[in-house]
Amino acid sequence: MKKIYLLTLIALLIDLKFVSSQAMAIEEAEMLYQGGEYQSALNYYQNIISQNKKPETEWIYRVAECYRNLKNYHQADENYAKLVDNKDVPAEMYLNYGHVLRYLKKYNEAKSMYEKYNSLKPGHPNIQTYIQSCTFSLQNNMPNPDFSAQPVNLKIDGLHFGAARYKNGVLYSVPHPTTNAKTKITYPNYKLYFSEFDGSTFADGKPFDKTFESSLYLGSPAVSSDSKTILFTQNATEVKMASKQQFKKKGISAEGVNTLNIFQSEFSGGGWSNPVSININSTEYSCLHPCLSPNGQKLYFVSNKPGGKGGYDLYVSSRSGNLWSAPQALFEINTPDNEMYPYVVNDTILYFSSNGHIGYGGSDIYVSYYRNGKWSTPQNLGLGINSERDDFGLIWWEGRKGFFASNRNTDGDKDEFFSFEKVIHYKKGKGVVIDELTRKKMADVTIEIYDEEGNLVKTIVTDKNGKYEFGEFDPDKKYRLVAKKKGFHDFEMDIDPSKDDLNNLAIMMEPVVEKNVVFEFNDILFEFGKADLLPESKEILDRLADLLLKNPRAKVELSAHTDSRGSDQANLTLSQKRAESSVIYLISKGVQQEQLVAKGYGETRLKNNCGNNSKCSEEEHAVNRRVEIKVLDVK
């Protein structure tokens, strides 16, 4: 009896010791989790679970959360799945599980989790965006044909913290973890690296300059267009530890956060100046991810400063001497979640990353255009540039090429550097060249096509019907067409393929008015046997009047001609009256009488062998019924 009691007591003491040690392990695991040490916390929780036949719901939830934060989404999915419909889990579990399912392209399941969360805890400011994103992803599941993307040889071997073009290469941040021998604490020790790019391959990266090093965080560089200014993100202070009483003195926020700030360095005298914190920074909130406008007068950046929509928002500030103006939030773009990595082109096109707009999962890359004083609704750049994972940090290189980062092919804390190129979807353009005066179609006209930089792209010649065609109009560029032919003034026309009707590019060429030039018309018609102009003839004479009004120094002869039918004298008289009738009409349109001479030639100047008593067809006779305008002189 005593032996049994003794054994029971020993077992009880062992259980108490186990419970005590487990409680300590749980407490340690929670501290690690709250401190962002997810891998260490995961190890603790997995050990605790392995020692319990019926693990607590909270432990499994923490394991799932650790995996999510470590970006191991398959393991996160496996653990979240154990908790679905468990009444003991917080509502946030369904929200976070929804995010994980989107990372795994399980959009229908993700939508269900978001709807479950919304039913348990309605009012989340962006829940409808998440739900709509699932539908969007299912409906827009083909790669964007406008872009092609592929990984490049520049290896990050960790997380990507932004890159910037510098001369013939890119600047990017690389950590060099170092452990303090006394405290055993490991610090990242970041440095800016530089890698040359030859248009297809990156050279091995090398440390850029000792000026750009930090024992804590340093990254997201931005370079001015003249390569003489570099802005970058760094912790407000390199103080690694401080007591609460020293927070303000050491540059630590009231909540004990070493915030991220934007620093600036200038190149002069052969070296880079010591970085200085710019005037928009604060120790109470972070400012990061700087991006300079091409002219250096505006600074786009990210901040979690009070007054935003939530998370990290995009801001812009204008330069005033050596200072920056009070930041203005880009409210049309910002969301309750995070907008990051702005990249601006000509102050009118803004690329950025966000997990708060409708997208495929994680962070997607978007573009917004500055129009009529505000930024347009952001457009998702689509699959290819984006994926179900995190895609961010887009920068343009030159022309249609650029780079961005993504973890679409990796797990855990690893990103890859990608290149992309915008695909050209050429448009066809066609038209006809017409003589502005006679309205005849013009063959053998030389058409030169220039791009917006003034480079000759193509030379084409119109066919016998005056038609031409060009099949390589780039919709993202503007062009100028120049038509040339001897005896005509050059014609120039600007073309915007994104707006203009390319199927009807009509060119009207004005003839040059010079001595002895003859313009012939077969369609200035009169009433039969009379000198009265028909209405359709007046339209032609209106064009002639316009030409003569543009050339007031020109003197012309209007000659009327008939076919051979009828008596010679009657034809001569009729043609003179018709010539005079045409002159009178031109004078009524403002042409000076001194510019005009009327002459009737009757049938004396036939253009074929259809003289008296000939057996010519109606079409052959019609060739001779004409009005000619000959330039007698140009003073």
Q: Tens of pLDDT along 335-353?
A: 999 999 999 998 899 999 9
Q: What percent of the chain has pLDDT over 90?
A: 59
Task: For domain 427-509, give the fold.
Answer: Immunoglobulin-like (2.60.40)
Q: Tens of pLDDT along 558-581?
A: 888 888 888 889 888 888 888 888
Q: Tens of pLDDT along 41-72?
A: 899 889 888 888 888 899 999 999 999 999 89
Lowest mean pLDDT of 109-113, 228-232, 418-422, 518-522, name the range.
518-522
Number of helices (H) and strands (E), helices first, in the chain?
10, 37
Question: Does pLDDT of 187 surpass 80?
Answer: no
DSSP for residue 317: E
Q: Tens of pLDDT along 429-459?
A: 999 999 988 888 999 999 999 999 899 999 9
What tokens were used for 383? 């699959």
- Residue range 112-137: mean pLDDT, rounded: 96
Specify the pLDDT at position 12: 42
Please state, in angstroms and rounded to a whole number, the distance separating the CA atoms of residues 222 and 38. 31
143-156 burial code (b ≥16 CB/10 A, e <16): ebebbebeebebeb
Domain 29-139 belongs to what architecture? Answer: Alpha Horseshoe (1.25)
Say if CB 231 and CB 278 are below 8 A apart.
yes
Place of tokens 């889990």: 89
- Give me the CATH code for the 159-400 domain, please: 2.115.10
Q: Tens of pLDDT along 214-273?
A: 988 999 999 999 999 999 999 988 887 777 777 887 788 888 888 999 999 999 988 999
Place of tokens 């109009």: 473
Q: Confidence band (pLDDT; 50, 70, 90) for 605?
A: confident
What tokens were used for 314? 């995009």
Q: Return the closest-CA partner of residue 333 out of 351, 360, 307.
A: 351
Q: What is the pTM of this model?
A: 0.76
Amino acid at 304: N
Phi-psi region of 347 (alpha: psi -120 to 50; beta: other; left: phi over 0): left
Q: Confidence band (pLDDT; 50, 70, 90) for 131?
A: very high
Question: Does pLDDT of 182 surpass 90?
Answer: no
DSSP for residue 241: -
Tell whether the torsion through CA atoms of 27, 31, 32 and 38 is positive or negative: positive
What tokens were used for 233? 């993100």
Other CB atoms closer than 10 Å to residue 130's CB: what's the count? Answer: 26
Please state, in angstroms and rounded to a whole number, the distance separating the CA atoms of residues 526 and 580. 12
- Residue range 357-363: mean pLDDT, rounded: 96
Domains of the chain: which residue ranges?
29-139, 159-400, 427-509, 518-634
Q: Confidence band (pLDDT; 50, 70, 90) for 527?
A: low
Specify the pLDDT at position 4: 47
- Residue range 109-125: mean pLDDT, rounded: 96
Task: For domain 518-634, give the fold.
Answer: 60s Ribosomal Protein L30; Chain: A; (3.30.1330)
Specify the pLDDT at position 402: 96
Q: Confidence band (pLDDT; 50, 70, 90) for 309?
A: very high
19-42 burial code (b ≥16 CB/10 A, e <16): eeeeeeebeebeebbeeeebebbb
Q: Which of 29-33, 159-163, 313-317, 609-613 has the highest mean pLDDT?
A: 313-317
Say if CB 396 and CB 404 are below 8 A apart.
no
Specify the pLDDT at position 305: 96
Q: Confidence band (pLDDT; 50, 70, 90) for 504?
A: confident
Specify the pLDDT at position 18: 43
Please state, in angstroms and rounded to a whole number, the distance separating the CA atoms of residues 541 and 582. 8
Say if CB 488 and CB 508 are below 8 A apart.
no
What tokens were used for 234? 């760094």
Place of tokens 């392995």: 50
Specify the pLDDT at position 19: 47
Say if CB 357 and CB 379 are below 8 A apart.
no
What tokens were used for 222? 């931005």
Three-class SS state of 166:
strand
Q: Find all residues with CB under 8 Å of 245, minimum gap 6, and list them.
A: none
Specify the pLDDT at position 10: 42
Mean residue pLDDT of the chain comes to 90
Please state, in angstroms and rounded to a whole number, the distance separating the CA atoms of residues 592 and 52. 110
